[in-house]
Amino acid sequence: MRKPQIVLLVIVIICFLSACEQSETNSDANFAVFQNESSKSQTIDYPETSQEKDYTTENSESTVTNQFTQKDESIQIDIPTQPSKPIDSNNSINDNNDNDKNFVEELVGINKLRVDYNLGTCRNLSGNVSVILFFMDDFESGWTADEITNFTNNEVTPGLAFLEKEAKSYGVELDLSIKQSYSSIFYDDEVILSIKETGLATIDVLSQAAHGLNYSSDEEMIADFKSQYGTEIVCFTIFNKNGTAYAINPTRGATMQIEEHCIIFAYDLNSNRNDPIGSQSSIIAHEMLHLFGAEDFYATTNRKNLAKKYYPADIMLGANYYIITNNIGNATAFYIGWTDEVPDVLYNENW
């Protein structure tokens, strides 16, 4: 089939997660990837409060309904050559570095400290935000109706509720609603399960999902969703297999618009599939934050050490199995626009 044009200047962040933090990587890029440890086997207990939210999909091919109580408080296959693109020594897909630098230099004031903020498809993580789920089948895996329901209830909704709760702590009203949940959409190529191991990334999943729904492109599909709901649109493409999740979002200086989304796997790359219920919730929240400008706190050793001192529970440092042990610190809140107050640590030369 015809492949969509591959978007240049998408950056790859490779992050392998332990129970409390990820291993170090030299990438400062925007393909964010995550892997949980599979050794933690305790079941997550979400304490109930008086606030209850009904996450219900609307007008979907596979309707998923979940009552989630808000609480207090991420198989080896052959490497495909298309539609993936090789990653350079800096873990980036970027042919236009000079142009990228020029765009960064145009930023003024505090925005020079958050260069990935307010870019691409996803711009403002506040108010009403519509979530679209695509449960993808491929040559090796597929979804049953029960599996879709369970993954939505146990993994997606706790991640969304975490973000709503953290937004509220910054005085930001955020309402994340699952509007559509599509199933039986086939991805007809091999899926890259680990960017770090292959040096490649699968970047046309959302485009194929759009074609499966009879749109001419993912851009047309996103525009239609925005027209229907009048909100920001967040898309997740989810595979029922082991893999390392990542987010696809643009950088300044990119020559074309990219329709941002997260590629999520039901199980971590090396999981034995005995992970506790809810273990992917923090992965989902972490990757979604990347779409709105959040940065990884383990991209360099120096930043990781500072983050462990100032933001030990921040979800951009470590996406724990127990999502209620994570939070969003003021640096992440600044990066995603929840506050314009610049944390002192951002001025540290080692950050």
- Identify the three-state secondary structure at position 266: strand
Averaged over 14-43, what is the pLDDT? 34
Please check the confidence at residue 21 and state whether its pLDDT lies above 80. no
Higher local confidence (pLDDT), 236 or 24: 236
- Would you state the pLDDT for residue 18? 34
Report pLDDT for 203: 86
Tokens 């369970």 sit at which residue?
150
Least confident stretch, 1-5, 109-113, 148-152, 179-183: 1-5
Q: Which residue, 78, 35, 93, is CA-closest to 258?
A: 93
Q: Which amino acid is at 41?
A: S
Q: Is the pLDDT of residue 287 over 80?
A: yes
At residue 64, the pLDDT reads 33
Position 252 scores a pLDDT of 80
User: What confidence category does residue 140 fall into, taking pLDDT thresholds of 50, 70 and 90?
Assistant: very high
Indicate the pLDDT class of residue 89, thresholds 50, 70 and 90: very low
Question: For residue 255, what pLDDT is reported?
Answer: 67
Within 13 Å of residue 223, how many CA atoms lie on the same side as its CB?
8
pLDDT at 153 over 60: yes
Question: Residue 343 has what pLDDT?
Answer: 97
pLDDT value at residue 5: 34
Which of residues 32 and 112 earns the better pLDDT score? 112
Handedness of CA 143, 145, 148, 151 (dihedral sign): negative
Q: Is the pLDDT of residue 91 over 90?
A: no
Which phi and psi (to 5°) does residue 161 adopt? -65, -35
Backbone angles phi, psi at 34, to 5 degrees: -145, 145
Radius of gyration of the chain (CA): 19
The pLDDT of residue 201: 81
Q: What is the DSSP letter of 152?
A: I
DSSP bridge pairs for 132: 180, 235
More confident residue, 249 or 145: 145
Structure tokens at 211: 């074609």
Mean pLDDT across the chain, nearest whole number?
A: 77
Q: Where are the beta strands (DSSP E) in the chain?
A: 10-11, 31-34, 52-56, 65-69, 92-93, 127-137, 174-186, 232-243, 245-248, 261-268
User: In terms of pLDDT, which residue wins out, 19 or 256?
Assistant: 256
Distance CA 45, CA 281 (A): 13
Give the residue-averaged pLDDT of 118-138: 96
136, pLDDT greater than 90 = yes
Q: What is the pLDDT of residue 249?
A: 86
Structure tokens at 234: 């967040």
In this prediction, residue 205 carries a pLDDT of: 95
Q: Is the dihedral of CA 212, 215, 217, 218 positive or negative?
A: negative
Position 97 scores a pLDDT of 44
Q: Are 277 and 295 in contact (CB under 8 A)?
A: no
pLDDT, position 197 = 81
Contact 241, 141 (CB under 8 A): yes
Q: Say if residue 158's pLDDT is above 50.
A: yes
The region of weakest confidence among 3-12, 114-123, 180-189, 246-255 is: 3-12
Average the pLDDT over 282-305 and give the result.
Answer: 96
Q: Which two tokens stand for residue 71?
A: 């609480």
Tell me what percent of the residues of the chain surpass a pLDDT of 70. 69
Q: What is the structure's pLDDT at 10?
A: 35
**What is the percent of the chain with per-residue pLDDT over 90, rounded to a whole number?**
60
Asked whether the predicted pLDDT for residue 92 surpasses 60, the reply is no
Answer whether 33's CB lies under 8 Å from 12's CB.
yes
Q: Which residue has the higher pLDDT, 29 or 300?
A: 300
Mapped onto helix, strand or coil, the DSSP state of residue 106 is helix
